Amino acid sequence: MHADTSPAQFWENRYTDSDGLWSGNANASLVDAVSGLAPGTALDLGCGEGADTIWLARGGWDATGVDISRTAVRRATDAARAAGLPVDRIRFAAADLATWREDSSYDLVAASFLHSPVEFPRTDVLRHAAGLVAPRGHLVIVSHAAFPPWAGADAHEGHGDHRFPSPQEEVEALDLEPGSWEVRIAETRARDAIGPDGTQVVLDDTVVVLRRL
Ligand SMILES: C[S@@+](CC[C@H](N)C(=O)[O-])C[C@H]1O[C@@H](n2cnc3c(N)ncnc32)[C@H](O)[C@@H]1O
């Protein structure tokens, strides 16, 4: 268990233990969901090293990424600068989404694999996220539908007998105001991935795309 480690310290350790935790590529399900949308303002929750946020900014979105890890945010900021993106088009902030509250609204709020094996009020965070979506804007949630086959005991640690929510459960948990949202996508999608040992696998993602009316 990670009982003695705060969420901020847990994630900071995960990032500092590696030179780069993620691939640097935007998540395919996020790319699929957003590609047809007209760019506007975008918020990427749990942005990690910023690949999705950078992909959004490259596509013309005015993009903001938020993550609890200062190291992840620094790497994301460096990657955005290295990509030549202007500072007025993309920015990152280190904050704990459990307590982070925002007044602005966004044309797109995205959360890709916003999971944590340590304390994380995911449902509350996603409900707050829904409240930040501007009228006619979108909420895109891409999540694991199951642990990947290579996940060992450590990945399950803190999850107990965790079961990932189905797409329908993910939507219901948001407790959205009836009649104010259109469910555009709520489904499980298969995706090709390469495991840590280099073998090709198929992983299932839960993809939820909602449009605020
Ligand atoms: C599984 S990673 C996904 C990262 C990125 N979205 C991606 O798809 O590559 C989960 C991310 O959520 C962040 N996170 C976890 N708990 C958080 C919290 N309480 N507040 C903000 N970010 C958090 C972690 O630091 C990590 O970067």
Quick: pLDDT tens for 51-81: 999 999 999 999 999 999 999 999 999 999 9
SS3 state of residue 12: helix
Helix, strand, coil percentages, rounded to 5, for the chain: 30, 30, 45
145 close to 164: Cβ distance less than 8 angstroms: yes
Per-residue confidence (pLDDT) for residue 158, from 0 to 100: 47
123 DSSP 8-state letter: H
Per-residue confidence (pLDDT) for residue 195, from 0 to 100: 82
Backbone φ and ψ of 69, nearest 5°:
-90, 125
Smallest CA separation from ligand 1 atom 13, residue: 46
pLDDT > 90 fraction of the chain, expressed in percent and rounded? 82
User: What confidence tens digit (pLDDT) does each residue in 133-163 have?
Assistant: 999 999 999 999 998 888 765 555 445 557 8
Query: Which CATH number applies to 7-212?
Result: 3.40.50.150
Distance CA 130, CA 139 (A): 6
Judged against a pLDDT cut of 50, whether residue 107 lies above it is answered with yes
115 DSSP 8-state letter: -
Query: Best substitution site from 10, 14, 67, 96 to test ligand 1's pocket, by max atoms within 8 Å of Cβ?
Result: 67
Domain boundaries, the chain: 7-212
Single-letter code of the amino acid located at 3? A
What value does the mean pLDDT take over residues 93-115?
96
Query: Best substitution site from 15, 47, 154 to test ligand 1's pocket, by max atoms within 8 Å of Cβ?
Result: 47
Q: Which atom of ligand 1 is nearest to the CA of 30?
A: 8
Per-residue confidence (pLDDT) for residue 101, from 0 to 100: 93
Ligand 1 proximal residues by C-beta, below 6 Å: 7, 11, 22, 27, 46-48, 51-52, 67-69, 72, 96-98, 112-116, 120
176 DSSP 8-state letter: P
157 close to 42: Cβ distance less than 8 angstroms: no
Which residue from 90, 105, 94, 204 is spatially nearest to 149, judged by alpha carbons? 204
